[in-house]
Amino acid sequence: MAKIIIKKDDITSIDVEVIVNSANESLLSGSGLCGLIHKKAGPNLEKECLEKSPCKTGDSVITKAYDLPFKYIIHTVGPKYYLETGREDELLESCYESSLALAKENNIKTIAFPCISAGIYKFPKERAAKIAIDTVKLFIEKHPSSFETIIFAVFSEDEISIYKNLLGFK
């Protein structure tokens, strides 16, 4: 069974096989975390993303990690809060499910997630974290030997508290 870890860290410096990028539909460099990942990965990431775009909200694609120290990057398009006509929760669940399915398909054992859509897409952090945790736990239950470690990479003490509370950590 996978170990779930919460880390207050820059996701691009976590020791895993794959990180998840909270991407836009074009998969091109944006602001926030997406921009940071593209900057650190180098120009070849943008080229591969151009070939694989567009990506629908709730879906995911996998690319090489290029200049980042991972095997891959999974790009998932989170919902823009209030713009998905009441389907925000369902689309956010799909982001985690499709990312985990891609990782499983590629025999990845260690993965790190940001809190998808909780930044510039304005999804309420606690609600986004609950969906993330519930979806990951359900996937692990269905596929118990798929992952060794799943990390939730967070930015602030507030986010750490939210995840710890939801996971029942002390």
Find the Cα–Cα–Cα–Cα dihedral 67, 8, 159, 112, rounded to 10°.
40
Residue 84's pLDDT is 64
Element holding 47 (H helix, E strand):
helix 43-52
Cβ proximity of 25 and 57 under 8 Å: yes
**pLDDT of 82 strictly over 80:** no
The pLDDT confidence band at residue 77, using thresholds 50, 70 and 90, is: very high
What would be the CATH architecture of the domain defined by 3-167?
3-Layer(aba) Sandwich (3.40)
What predicted TM-score, i.e. pTM, was given to this entire model?
A: 0.96
**What would the pLDDT profile of 85-132 be if each residue is shown by its tens digit?**
789 999 999 999 999 999 999 999 999 999 999 988 999 999 999 999
Where along the chain do its domains lie?
Answer: 3-167
**CA-CA distance, 136 to 143, in Å (whole number)?**
10
Give the pLDDT confidence of 7-51 residue by residue, as tens digits.
999 999 999 999 999 999 999 998 888 999 999 999 999 999 999
